[in-house]
Amino acid sequence: MKKVVISCGPIPARLDSVKFITNRFKGGLAFRTAEHLINQGKYDVTIVRWKHTSFPGKSWPLKSPWNQDNVHVVDVEDVFGYYNWYANHAAEYDAFIMAAAVANLTPSEPYKGKFPSHKYAVGESFPIQFEIAPRAIDVIKQKNPRACLIGYKLFDAASDEELVDIARHTLADAKANIIFANTPATAKTKKIAVMPDNTALPCSFDEHLGLICRAIDNRYFRTEIVSLAGTAQSKGAVDEAIATVKMFEKTFSNGFGTVAVPVKGGPSMFDTPMNVFATTSRGHKGEPVIVCGVDYEKGIVYATGKATLNAPTLAGVLAQAPEDTFVVHRHDDDPLFDKNKPAFAMADYLFPGTLEEAHAVTKAFGTGVKRVKLLGHGDIAIKPIRKVDWTRYYEDFPERYFGISKDMQEIIEKYNDGETLEIGCNGTACTKYAYDPFVEAGNAINLTFAEAIKKHYDLIVAKNSINYLSFEELWMLVDAADRFVANTFLRAPQEKVTSEEAAVLVPRPMGMAVSHTLRLKDDSIARHEFWARSQEDYEALGLKVTPYGKNSALLTKNT
Protein backbone atom coordinates (compact mmCIF):
# COMPACT_ATOMS: atom_id res chain seq x y z
CA MET A 1 0.00 0.00 0.00
CA LYS A 2 1.56 3.29 -1.10
CA LYS A 3 1.83 6.08 1.43
CA VAL A 4 0.31 9.30 0.09
CA VAL A 5 0.36 12.79 1.60
CA ILE A 6 -2.15 15.44 0.56
CA SER A 7 -2.24 18.98 1.94
CA CYS A 8 -5.64 20.64 2.18
CA GLY A 9 -7.10 24.05 2.99
CA PRO A 10 -5.28 27.32 3.60
CA ILE A 11 -1.80 27.33 5.11
CA PRO A 12 -1.39 30.87 6.47
CA ALA A 13 1.53 33.05 7.50
CA ARG A 14 1.62 34.31 11.09
CA LEU A 15 1.31 38.05 11.75
CA ASP A 16 1.13 37.77 15.55
CA SER A 17 -0.06 35.26 18.14
CA VAL A 18 -3.69 35.45 16.97
CA LYS A 19 -3.64 37.01 13.49
CA PHE A 20 -2.78 35.15 10.30
CA ILE A 21 -2.45 36.15 6.65
CA THR A 22 -4.26 33.76 4.33
CA ASN A 23 -6.56 33.71 1.32
CA ARG A 24 -10.24 33.14 0.73
CA PHE A 25 -9.97 29.46 -0.22
CA LYS A 26 -11.20 26.95 2.35
CA GLY A 27 -9.86 23.83 0.63
CA GLY A 28 -13.11 22.26 -0.50
CA LEU A 29 -11.62 20.89 -3.75
CA ALA A 30 -8.52 19.62 -1.97
CA PHE A 31 -10.67 17.74 0.54
CA ARG A 32 -12.69 16.28 -2.35
CA THR A 33 -9.41 15.05 -3.81
CA ALA A 34 -8.38 13.59 -0.46
CA GLU A 35 -11.71 11.82 -0.12
CA HIS A 36 -11.29 10.35 -3.62
CA LEU A 37 -7.88 8.96 -2.65
CA ILE A 38 -9.20 7.52 0.60
CA ASN A 39 -12.16 5.90 -1.12
CA GLN A 40 -9.84 4.00 -3.49
CA GLY A 41 -9.00 1.79 -0.51
CA LYS A 42 -5.45 1.18 -1.76
CA TYR A 43 -3.53 4.12 -0.30
CA ASP A 44 -2.35 4.99 3.19
CA VAL A 45 -3.42 8.66 3.20
CA THR A 46 -2.05 11.43 5.40
CA ILE A 47 -3.85 14.79 5.35
CA VAL A 48 -1.80 17.86 6.24
CA ARG A 49 -3.86 20.92 7.23
CA TRP A 50 -3.67 24.12 9.24
CA LYS A 51 -4.82 23.25 12.76
CA HIS A 52 -7.73 25.70 12.56
CA THR A 53 -9.08 24.28 9.27
CA SER A 54 -12.32 22.36 9.62
CA PHE A 55 -13.18 19.29 7.60
CA PRO A 56 -16.11 19.87 5.24
CA GLY A 57 -19.39 18.62 6.65
CA LYS A 58 -20.19 17.63 10.21
CA SER A 59 -18.88 14.08 10.08
CA TRP A 60 -16.14 14.25 7.43
CA PRO A 61 -14.14 12.04 7.07
CA LEU A 62 -16.17 9.54 9.14
CA LYS A 63 -18.98 9.50 6.56
CA SER A 64 -16.79 7.69 4.00
CA PRO A 65 -16.33 3.89 3.99
CA TRP A 66 -12.59 3.43 4.58
CA ASN A 67 -10.31 1.70 6.98
CA GLN A 68 -9.50 4.31 9.62
CA ASP A 69 -6.05 2.77 10.16
CA ASN A 70 -5.12 4.06 6.71
CA VAL A 71 -6.13 7.70 7.29
CA HIS A 72 -4.02 10.13 9.28
CA VAL A 73 -4.22 13.84 9.99
CA VAL A 74 -1.30 16.19 10.65
CA ASP A 75 -2.00 19.69 12.00
CA VAL A 76 0.50 22.50 11.43
CA GLU A 77 0.74 25.94 13.04
CA ASP A 78 1.57 28.06 10.00
CA VAL A 79 3.56 28.13 6.73
CA PHE A 80 6.85 27.55 8.60
CA GLY A 81 5.44 24.57 10.49
CA TYR A 82 4.10 23.28 7.17
CA TYR A 83 7.50 23.58 5.49
CA ASN A 84 9.32 22.00 8.40
CA TRP A 85 6.98 19.01 8.49
CA TYR A 86 7.68 18.23 4.84
CA ALA A 87 11.40 18.78 5.24
CA ASN A 88 11.43 16.30 8.13
CA HIS A 89 9.10 13.67 6.64
CA ALA A 90 9.58 13.87 2.84
CA ALA A 91 11.60 10.66 2.72
CA GLU A 92 8.83 8.63 4.40
CA TYR A 93 6.15 8.74 1.67
CA ASP A 94 5.66 7.53 -1.90
CA ALA A 95 3.53 10.36 -3.25
CA PHE A 96 2.75 13.98 -2.41
CA ILE A 97 -0.27 16.01 -3.57
CA MET A 98 0.37 19.63 -2.68
CA ALA A 99 -3.23 20.87 -2.88
CA ALA A 100 -3.25 23.38 -0.01
CA ALA A 101 -3.50 27.13 -0.66
CA VAL A 102 -0.17 28.03 0.92
CA ALA A 103 0.72 31.61 1.81
CA ASN A 104 3.64 32.73 -0.31
CA LEU A 105 4.15 35.98 1.64
CA THR A 106 5.09 36.10 5.31
CA PRO A 107 6.09 38.95 7.62
CA SER A 108 9.87 38.94 8.01
CA GLU A 109 9.48 39.42 11.79
CA PRO A 110 6.08 38.31 13.13
CA TYR A 111 5.04 40.16 16.28
CA LYS A 112 5.73 38.35 19.51
CA GLY A 113 2.46 38.15 21.35
CA LYS A 114 -0.44 40.21 20.03
CA PHE A 115 0.09 43.24 17.81
CA PRO A 116 -0.19 46.41 20.01
CA SER A 117 -2.99 48.09 18.04
CA HIS A 118 -3.82 50.26 21.11
CA LYS A 119 -0.66 52.25 20.40
CA TYR A 120 -2.00 53.47 17.03
CA ALA A 121 -4.84 55.83 16.12
CA VAL A 122 -7.52 54.85 13.63
CA GLY A 123 -6.17 55.40 10.10
CA GLU A 124 -2.56 55.59 11.25
CA SER A 125 -0.19 53.57 9.04
CA PHE A 126 2.77 51.46 10.10
CA PRO A 127 5.36 49.40 8.13
CA ILE A 128 5.41 45.60 7.91
CA GLN A 129 8.24 44.01 5.91
CA PHE A 130 7.33 40.87 3.99
CA GLU A 131 9.39 38.12 2.39
CA ILE A 132 8.68 35.09 0.23
CA ALA A 133 7.74 32.14 2.42
CA PRO A 134 9.67 28.84 2.11
CA ARG A 135 8.11 26.46 -0.41
CA ALA A 136 7.53 22.94 0.84
CA ILE A 137 7.08 21.67 -2.73
CA ASP A 138 10.70 22.56 -3.47
CA VAL A 139 12.17 20.41 -0.68
CA ILE A 140 10.43 17.11 -1.48
CA LYS A 141 12.50 15.90 -4.44
CA GLN A 142 15.65 17.01 -2.65
CA LYS A 143 14.83 14.57 0.14
CA ASN A 144 13.02 11.92 -1.91
CA PRO A 145 14.01 11.99 -5.62
CA ARG A 146 11.87 8.99 -6.57
CA ALA A 147 8.65 10.28 -5.00
CA CYS A 148 5.63 11.10 -7.14
CA LEU A 149 5.12 14.85 -6.69
CA ILE A 150 1.94 16.62 -7.77
CA GLY A 151 1.30 20.30 -7.28
CA TYR A 152 -1.15 23.05 -8.21
CA LYS A 153 -0.70 26.53 -9.61
CA LEU A 154 -3.60 28.92 -9.08
CA PHE A 155 -3.22 32.14 -11.03
CA ASP A 156 -5.62 34.62 -12.56
CA ALA A 157 -3.97 34.47 -15.99
CA ALA A 158 -5.25 36.24 -19.08
CA SER A 159 -4.92 33.08 -21.23
CA ASP A 160 -4.27 29.37 -20.99
CA GLU A 161 -0.87 29.93 -22.61
CA GLU A 162 0.17 32.34 -19.84
CA LEU A 163 -1.16 29.97 -17.18
CA VAL A 164 0.75 27.01 -18.63
CA ASP A 165 3.96 29.02 -18.92
CA ILE A 166 3.77 29.99 -15.24
CA ALA A 167 3.03 26.39 -14.23
CA ARG A 168 6.07 25.15 -16.16
CA HIS A 169 8.30 27.31 -14.00
CA THR A 170 6.83 25.71 -10.85
CA LEU A 171 7.18 22.26 -12.40
CA ALA A 172 10.86 22.81 -13.22
CA ASP A 173 11.73 24.34 -9.85
CA ALA A 174 10.09 21.52 -7.89
CA LYS A 175 10.98 18.70 -10.33
CA ALA A 176 7.32 17.70 -10.06
CA ASN A 177 5.57 14.95 -12.01
CA ILE A 178 2.47 17.07 -12.62
CA ILE A 179 1.43 20.64 -11.95
CA PHE A 180 -2.29 21.26 -12.31
CA ALA A 181 -2.76 24.84 -13.48
CA ASN A 182 -6.08 26.57 -12.94
CA THR A 183 -7.67 29.97 -12.40
CA PRO A 184 -9.94 31.01 -9.50
CA ALA A 185 -12.90 31.21 -11.88
CA THR A 186 -12.52 27.72 -13.36
CA ALA A 187 -10.86 25.72 -10.56
CA LYS A 188 -13.98 23.59 -9.99
CA THR A 189 -14.45 22.62 -13.63
CA LYS A 190 -11.18 22.88 -15.57
CA LYS A 191 -7.52 22.22 -14.95
CA ILE A 192 -4.52 21.96 -17.25
CA ALA A 193 -2.14 19.13 -16.40
CA VAL A 194 1.39 20.36 -17.15
CA MET A 195 3.93 17.54 -17.46
CA PRO A 196 7.75 17.31 -17.56
CA ASP A 197 7.61 16.29 -21.23
CA ASN A 198 6.02 19.69 -22.07
CA THR A 199 2.52 18.25 -22.40
CA ALA A 200 -0.30 20.59 -21.38
CA LEU A 201 -3.43 18.47 -21.09
CA PRO A 202 -6.81 20.14 -20.36
CA CYS A 203 -8.98 18.06 -18.07
CA SER A 204 -12.10 18.22 -15.91
CA PHE A 205 -11.94 17.92 -12.14
CA ASP A 206 -12.84 14.22 -12.27
CA GLU A 207 -10.30 13.58 -15.04
CA HIS A 208 -7.65 15.26 -12.93
CA LEU A 209 -8.47 12.82 -10.10
CA GLY A 210 -7.87 9.94 -12.52
CA LEU A 211 -4.51 11.38 -13.59
CA ILE A 212 -3.45 11.67 -9.96
CA CYS A 213 -4.19 8.02 -9.25
CA ARG A 214 -2.44 6.88 -12.43
CA ALA A 215 0.62 8.96 -11.55
CA ILE A 216 0.74 7.46 -8.06
CA ASP A 217 0.18 3.89 -9.28
CA ASN A 218 2.78 4.01 -12.05
CA ARG A 219 6.10 2.24 -11.70
CA TYR A 220 8.92 4.63 -12.49
CA PHE A 221 12.32 3.46 -13.63
CA ARG A 222 15.54 4.36 -11.89
CA THR A 223 19.02 4.55 -13.41
CA GLU A 224 21.96 2.45 -12.30
CA ILE A 225 25.21 3.97 -13.57
CA VAL A 226 27.57 1.50 -15.26
CA SER A 227 30.89 1.83 -17.07
CA LEU A 228 31.59 0.54 -20.54
CA ALA A 229 34.23 -2.03 -21.25
CA GLY A 230 35.10 -3.25 -24.72
CA THR A 231 37.53 -3.35 -27.60
CA ALA A 232 38.72 -0.41 -29.67
CA GLN A 233 36.28 -1.58 -32.33
CA SER A 234 33.30 -1.32 -29.96
CA LYS A 235 34.54 2.12 -28.85
CA GLY A 236 34.37 3.18 -32.50
CA ALA A 237 30.76 1.99 -32.67
CA VAL A 238 29.98 3.87 -29.45
CA ASP A 239 31.59 7.08 -30.74
CA GLU A 240 29.68 6.73 -34.02
CA ALA A 241 26.34 6.38 -32.21
CA ILE A 242 27.07 9.25 -29.80
CA ALA A 243 27.99 11.58 -32.68
CA THR A 244 24.69 10.73 -34.37
CA VAL A 245 22.79 11.55 -31.18
CA LYS A 246 24.59 14.90 -30.98
CA MET A 247 23.57 15.64 -34.57
CA PHE A 248 19.88 15.03 -33.80
CA GLU A 249 20.13 16.95 -30.54
CA LYS A 250 20.90 20.09 -32.55
CA THR A 251 17.54 19.71 -34.32
CA PHE A 252 15.19 19.25 -31.35
CA SER A 253 12.97 22.20 -30.46
CA ASN A 254 12.77 23.76 -26.97
CA GLY A 255 15.01 21.10 -25.43
CA PHE A 256 12.47 18.30 -25.94
CA GLY A 257 12.73 15.20 -28.08
CA THR A 258 15.17 12.31 -28.11
CA VAL A 259 16.70 9.63 -30.29
CA ALA A 260 17.99 6.08 -29.81
CA VAL A 261 20.87 5.00 -32.05
CA PRO A 262 21.95 1.34 -31.78
CA VAL A 263 25.59 0.52 -30.99
CA LYS A 264 26.53 -2.44 -33.13
CA GLY A 265 28.41 -5.01 -31.10
CA GLY A 266 28.02 -2.92 -27.95
CA PRO A 267 28.52 -4.60 -24.55
CA SER A 268 25.29 -5.74 -22.91
CA MET A 269 24.55 -5.96 -19.20
CA PHE A 270 22.80 -9.27 -19.68
CA ASP A 271 23.55 -12.75 -21.00
CA THR A 272 20.67 -12.52 -23.46
CA PRO A 273 21.14 -10.18 -26.44
CA MET A 274 19.76 -6.70 -25.85
CA ASN A 275 19.86 -3.47 -27.76
CA VAL A 276 22.70 -1.25 -26.58
CA PHE A 277 22.10 2.27 -27.79
CA ALA A 278 23.13 5.88 -27.47
CA THR A 279 20.54 8.45 -26.44
CA THR A 280 20.20 11.92 -24.95
CA SER A 281 20.88 12.68 -21.32
CA ARG A 282 18.08 13.50 -18.87
CA GLY A 283 16.76 16.94 -19.74
CA HIS A 284 19.54 17.37 -22.34
CA LYS A 285 21.77 18.53 -19.50
CA GLY A 286 24.89 16.62 -20.47
CA GLU A 287 26.62 14.54 -23.09
CA PRO A 288 24.74 11.63 -24.69
CA VAL A 289 24.75 8.41 -22.70
CA ILE A 290 24.91 4.73 -23.58
CA VAL A 291 22.04 2.54 -22.38
CA CYS A 292 23.42 -0.97 -21.87
CA GLY A 293 20.18 -2.64 -20.87
CA VAL A 294 16.78 -2.26 -19.23
CA ASP A 295 15.40 -4.57 -16.53
CA TYR A 296 11.64 -4.16 -16.76
CA GLU A 297 10.90 -6.39 -13.76
CA LYS A 298 13.14 -4.43 -11.41
CA GLY A 299 12.51 -1.08 -13.06
CA ILE A 300 16.19 -0.32 -13.70
CA VAL A 301 17.88 1.39 -16.65
CA TYR A 302 21.56 0.48 -16.87
CA ALA A 303 23.39 3.38 -18.49
CA THR A 304 26.61 5.39 -18.41
CA GLY A 305 24.67 8.40 -17.10
CA LYS A 306 21.16 9.66 -16.46
CA ALA A 307 19.38 8.83 -19.71
CA THR A 308 16.24 10.42 -21.09
CA LEU A 309 13.05 9.44 -19.28
CA ASN A 310 11.97 7.71 -22.48
CA ALA A 311 14.90 5.25 -22.35
CA PRO A 312 12.81 2.18 -21.29
CA THR A 313 10.34 2.88 -24.09
CA LEU A 314 13.10 3.45 -26.65
CA ALA A 315 14.68 0.15 -25.64
CA GLY A 316 11.37 -1.64 -26.10
CA VAL A 317 10.80 -0.10 -29.52
CA LEU A 318 14.32 -0.97 -30.71
CA ALA A 319 13.68 -4.58 -29.68
CA GLN A 320 10.72 -4.58 -32.10
CA ALA A 321 12.51 -2.68 -34.87
CA PRO A 322 14.18 -4.26 -37.91
CA GLU A 323 17.95 -4.33 -38.24
CA ASP A 324 19.63 -1.14 -39.44
CA THR A 325 17.03 1.17 -37.94
CA PHE A 326 16.94 3.69 -35.12
CA VAL A 327 14.23 5.57 -33.20
CA VAL A 328 13.35 9.28 -33.16
CA HIS A 329 10.97 11.02 -30.74
CA ARG A 330 9.85 14.53 -31.72
CA HIS A 331 7.30 16.75 -30.00
CA ASP A 332 4.27 18.41 -31.55
CA ASP A 333 5.82 21.89 -31.51
CA ASP A 334 9.04 20.74 -33.19
CA PRO A 335 9.26 22.30 -36.69
CA LEU A 336 10.46 18.91 -37.98
CA PHE A 337 7.49 17.03 -36.51
CA ASP A 338 5.55 15.43 -39.37
CA LYS A 339 1.93 16.55 -38.96
CA ASN A 340 0.73 14.84 -42.12
CA LYS A 341 2.07 11.29 -41.99
CA PRO A 342 -0.48 8.92 -40.42
CA ALA A 343 0.40 7.20 -37.16
CA PHE A 344 -1.04 4.78 -34.64
CA ALA A 345 -2.54 7.07 -31.98
CA MET A 346 -2.43 6.29 -28.26
CA ALA A 347 -5.78 7.08 -26.62
CA ASP A 348 -4.43 7.92 -23.15
CA TYR A 349 -1.62 10.12 -21.92
CA LEU A 350 1.40 8.00 -20.97
CA PHE A 351 3.74 9.17 -18.23
CA PRO A 352 7.33 9.10 -19.51
CA GLY A 353 9.79 6.93 -17.66
CA THR A 354 7.11 4.48 -16.53
CA LEU A 355 6.44 0.81 -17.10
CA GLU A 356 3.00 1.81 -18.43
CA GLU A 357 4.51 3.88 -21.24
CA ALA A 358 7.13 1.27 -22.12
CA HIS A 359 4.59 -1.57 -22.32
CA ALA A 360 1.90 0.38 -24.20
CA VAL A 361 4.22 1.81 -26.86
CA THR A 362 6.17 -1.42 -27.30
CA LYS A 363 2.92 -3.33 -27.73
CA ALA A 364 1.79 -0.88 -30.41
CA PHE A 365 5.02 -1.26 -32.36
CA GLY A 366 4.68 -5.02 -32.01
CA THR A 367 1.75 -4.85 -34.45
CA GLY A 368 4.12 -3.75 -37.20
CA VAL A 369 3.51 0.02 -37.22
CA LYS A 370 6.46 2.36 -37.82
CA ARG A 371 5.13 5.42 -36.01
CA VAL A 372 3.12 5.91 -32.80
CA LYS A 373 1.45 9.23 -31.91
CA LEU A 374 1.65 10.03 -28.20
CA LEU A 375 -1.18 12.04 -26.67
CA GLY A 376 0.11 15.50 -25.85
CA HIS A 377 3.76 15.17 -26.81
CA GLY A 378 4.56 14.16 -30.34
CA ASP A 379 5.42 10.79 -31.76
CA ILE A 380 7.92 7.94 -31.70
CA ALA A 381 9.04 6.70 -35.11
CA ILE A 382 11.30 3.94 -36.42
CA LYS A 383 13.62 5.30 -39.09
CA PRO A 384 16.04 3.46 -41.42
CA ILE A 385 19.83 3.65 -41.37
CA ARG A 386 20.49 3.68 -45.11
CA LYS A 387 23.56 3.22 -47.22
CA VAL A 388 24.41 6.34 -49.18
CA ASP A 389 22.50 6.52 -52.46
CA TRP A 390 25.21 7.93 -54.70
CA THR A 391 22.67 8.78 -57.41
CA ARG A 392 21.32 11.34 -54.90
CA TYR A 393 24.77 12.67 -54.02
CA TYR A 394 24.00 16.24 -55.06
CA GLU A 395 20.67 16.20 -53.19
CA ASP A 396 21.77 14.61 -49.91
CA PHE A 397 25.28 15.94 -49.33
CA PRO A 398 26.03 19.52 -48.25
CA GLU A 399 27.18 21.69 -51.14
CA ARG A 400 30.73 22.07 -49.83
CA TYR A 401 31.47 18.46 -50.88
CA PHE A 402 31.00 19.26 -54.57
CA GLY A 403 33.63 21.92 -55.24
CA ILE A 404 37.30 21.75 -56.22
CA SER A 405 40.05 24.36 -56.08
CA LYS A 406 41.01 26.65 -58.95
CA ASP A 407 44.45 25.01 -59.15
CA MET A 408 42.89 21.58 -59.53
CA GLN A 409 40.58 22.79 -62.29
CA GLU A 410 43.51 24.32 -64.17
CA ILE A 411 45.44 21.03 -64.05
CA ILE A 412 42.43 19.13 -65.40
CA GLU A 413 42.00 21.57 -68.26
CA LYS A 414 45.73 21.57 -69.09
CA TYR A 415 46.09 17.78 -69.39
CA ASN A 416 42.59 16.71 -70.36
CA ASP A 417 43.47 15.66 -73.92
CA GLY A 418 44.43 12.06 -74.46
CA GLU A 419 43.91 9.06 -72.20
CA THR A 420 42.28 10.35 -69.01
CA LEU A 421 40.33 8.70 -66.18
CA GLU A 422 38.09 10.15 -63.47
CA ILE A 423 37.51 8.24 -60.25
CA GLY A 424 34.08 8.70 -58.64
CA CYS A 425 32.40 10.86 -61.26
CA ASN A 426 28.82 10.64 -59.85
CA GLY A 427 27.25 10.42 -63.30
CA THR A 428 29.19 13.09 -65.20
CA ALA A 429 32.91 12.67 -65.92
CA CYS A 430 35.39 15.31 -67.00
CA THR A 431 37.57 12.67 -68.71
CA LYS A 432 37.51 10.04 -71.45
CA TYR A 433 37.15 7.14 -69.03
CA ALA A 434 35.31 6.81 -65.72
CA TYR A 435 35.60 4.45 -62.79
CA ASP A 436 32.77 4.69 -60.29
CA PRO A 437 31.55 1.49 -58.58
CA PHE A 438 28.18 3.08 -57.77
CA VAL A 439 27.13 5.43 -60.60
CA GLU A 440 27.88 5.09 -64.32
CA ALA A 441 28.96 8.16 -66.25
CA GLY A 442 26.64 9.18 -69.04
CA ASN A 443 29.37 10.94 -71.03
CA ALA A 444 32.40 8.63 -70.67
CA ILE A 445 33.60 5.09 -71.18
CA ASN A 446 32.84 3.26 -67.93
CA LEU A 447 35.45 0.81 -66.60
CA THR A 448 35.56 -1.69 -63.80
CA PHE A 449 38.52 -1.43 -61.43
CA ALA A 450 40.15 -4.49 -63.04
CA GLU A 451 39.79 -2.84 -66.46
CA ALA A 452 40.99 0.53 -65.17
CA ILE A 453 44.34 -0.68 -63.81
CA LYS A 454 45.20 -2.48 -67.07
CA LYS A 455 45.42 0.81 -68.96
CA HIS A 456 47.94 3.65 -68.74
CA TYR A 457 46.77 7.26 -68.53
CA ASP A 458 48.06 10.70 -69.23
CA LEU A 459 46.01 11.94 -66.26
CA ILE A 460 43.89 10.47 -63.49
CA VAL A 461 41.48 12.77 -61.64
CA ALA A 462 39.83 12.13 -58.25
CA LYS A 463 37.41 14.89 -57.22
CA ASN A 464 36.47 14.45 -53.54
CA SER A 465 36.74 10.68 -53.94
CA ILE A 466 40.29 9.58 -53.18
CA ASN A 467 39.48 8.57 -49.59
CA TYR A 468 37.11 5.85 -50.82
CA LEU A 469 40.02 3.93 -52.32
CA SER A 470 42.00 1.43 -50.30
CA PHE A 471 45.73 2.05 -50.04
CA GLU A 472 46.39 -0.82 -52.44
CA GLU A 473 43.86 0.49 -54.98
CA LEU A 474 45.30 3.97 -54.75
CA TRP A 475 48.86 2.71 -55.20
CA MET A 476 47.90 0.83 -58.40
CA LEU A 477 46.05 3.82 -59.88
CA VAL A 478 48.83 6.29 -59.11
CA ASP A 479 51.28 3.87 -60.74
CA ALA A 480 49.05 3.67 -63.86
CA ALA A 481 49.16 7.43 -64.53
CA ASP A 482 51.80 9.84 -65.80
CA ARG A 483 49.99 12.57 -63.93
CA PHE A 484 47.61 12.44 -61.01
CA VAL A 485 45.51 15.11 -59.28
CA ALA A 486 43.10 14.78 -56.36
CA ASN A 487 41.77 16.80 -53.46
CA THR A 488 41.16 15.71 -49.91
CA PHE A 489 41.10 16.92 -46.32
CA LEU A 490 44.42 17.57 -44.66
CA ARG A 491 43.45 16.31 -41.18
CA ALA A 492 40.51 14.06 -40.41
CA PRO A 493 38.38 15.44 -37.53
CA GLN A 494 38.25 13.44 -34.33
CA GLU A 495 34.57 14.45 -34.25
CA LYS A 496 32.57 16.97 -36.24
CA VAL A 497 28.85 17.44 -35.71
CA THR A 498 26.29 19.78 -37.26
CA SER A 499 22.51 19.51 -37.54
CA GLU A 500 22.96 17.83 -40.93
CA GLU A 501 25.92 15.50 -40.49
CA ALA A 502 28.13 13.75 -37.96
CA ALA A 503 31.69 12.60 -38.64
CA VAL A 504 33.86 10.67 -36.21
CA LEU A 505 37.13 8.73 -36.41
CA VAL A 506 36.75 4.97 -35.98
CA PRO A 507 39.40 2.23 -35.95
CA ARG A 508 39.32 -0.43 -38.65
CA PRO A 509 41.63 -3.42 -39.27
CA MET A 510 43.28 -1.63 -42.22
CA GLY A 511 43.64 1.74 -40.46
CA MET A 512 41.62 4.69 -39.22
CA ALA A 513 38.42 5.62 -41.05
CA VAL A 514 35.85 8.37 -40.83
CA SER A 515 32.28 7.26 -40.16
CA HIS A 516 30.08 9.89 -41.80
CA THR A 517 26.36 10.11 -41.03
CA LEU A 518 23.94 12.34 -42.94
CA ARG A 519 20.52 13.33 -41.61
CA LEU A 520 18.11 13.26 -44.53
CA LYS A 521 14.95 15.29 -45.03
CA ASP A 522 12.66 12.49 -43.81
CA ASP A 523 14.69 12.13 -40.54
CA SER A 524 16.26 8.89 -41.75
CA ILE A 525 20.04 8.75 -41.87
CA ALA A 526 22.56 7.63 -44.48
CA ARG A 527 25.90 6.35 -43.25
CA HIS A 528 29.14 5.61 -45.06
CA GLU A 529 32.87 5.43 -44.36
CA PHE A 530 36.06 6.64 -46.00
CA TRP A 531 39.72 6.36 -45.10
CA ALA A 532 41.46 8.91 -42.89
CA ARG A 533 45.02 9.25 -44.24
CA SER A 534 47.87 11.51 -43.23
CA GLN A 535 50.13 13.70 -45.33
CA GLU A 536 52.88 11.12 -44.83
CA ASP A 537 50.64 8.39 -46.30
CA TYR A 538 50.17 10.33 -49.54
CA GLU A 539 53.81 11.32 -49.77
CA ALA A 540 54.75 7.62 -49.44
CA LEU A 541 52.84 7.09 -52.71
CA GLY A 542 54.94 9.72 -54.44
CA LEU A 543 52.27 12.40 -54.31
CA LYS A 544 52.99 16.03 -53.58
CA VAL A 545 50.76 17.44 -50.84
CA THR A 546 49.89 21.15 -51.12
CA PRO A 547 47.66 22.53 -48.34
CA TYR A 548 44.99 25.10 -49.18
CA GLY A 549 42.00 26.62 -47.37
CA LYS A 550 41.35 25.73 -43.74
CA ASN A 551 41.85 21.98 -43.94
CA SER A 552 42.19 20.95 -47.59
CA ALA A 553 45.06 19.55 -49.62
CA LEU A 554 45.82 19.21 -53.33
CA LEU A 555 47.52 15.90 -54.20
CA THR A 556 49.53 15.88 -57.42
CA LYS A 557 51.98 13.79 -59.42
CA ASN A 558 54.06 15.29 -62.26
CA THR A 559 51.72 18.25 -62.80
In a domain, 278, yes or no: yes
One domain, residues 368 and 257: yes
Last residue of a domain, one of 357, 386, 415: 386
> What pLDDT is stored for residue 274 in this prediction?
60
Q: Cα–Cα distance between 545 and 532 in angstroms, integer?
A: 15
State the residue range of the domain holding 473. Answer: 390-492+533-557
CA distance 431 to 463: 12
Residue 360 included in any domain:
yes
Q: What is the CATH number of the domain that holds 460?
A: 3.40.50.150
Helices (H) and strands (E) counted in the chain, each on its own, are 13, 34
Query: Where are the alpha helices (H) located in 152-192, listed in sequence order?
Result: 160-174
- For residue 57, give the CATH number of its domain: 3.40.50.10300
Number of Cβ within 10 Å of residue 484's Cβ equals 28
pLDDT value of residue 270: 45
Which residues 6+ apart lie within 8 Å of 117 measured at CB?
A: none
The last residue of one of the domains, among 386, 404, 422, is: 386
Per-residue pLDDT at 341: 85
Dihedral (CA of 164, 169, 174, 175) sign: positive
Q: Is residue 508 part of a domain?
A: no
- Identify the domain boundary among 386, 416, 435: 386
Instruction: Check whether residue 299 and residue 408 sit in a common domain.
Output: no
78 shares a domain with 127: yes
Q: Distance (Å, rounded) from C-alpha 276 to C-alpha 508?
A: 21
Same domain, 181 and 210: yes
269 and 378 co-located in one domain:
yes
Q: Is residue 522 part of a domain?
A: no
In-domain check, residue 141: yes
Residue 128: how many other CB atoms lie within 10 Å: 12
Instruction: Please tell me the distance from the alpha carbon of residue 293 to that of residue 268, in angstroms, as a whole number.
Output: 6
Q: Looking at the domain assignment, is residue 500 inside a domain?
A: no
Residues 207 and 244 in one domain: no
Confidence (pLDDT) at 373: 96
pTM: 0.88
Total domains, the chain: 3
pLDDT at 188: 87
What local confidence, expressed as pLDDT, does residue 155 receive? 87
Mean pLDDT by 10 residues, the chain (559 residues): 94 79 78 93 94 75 58 92 95 96 80 75 80 89 94 89 94 94 89 94 96 95 85 79 97 92 68 74 94 93 94 95 95 91 91 94 94 94 96 90 93 93 95 96 96 96 96 96 96 93 92 95 96 94 95 95
Indicate whether 151 and 284 sit together in one domain: no
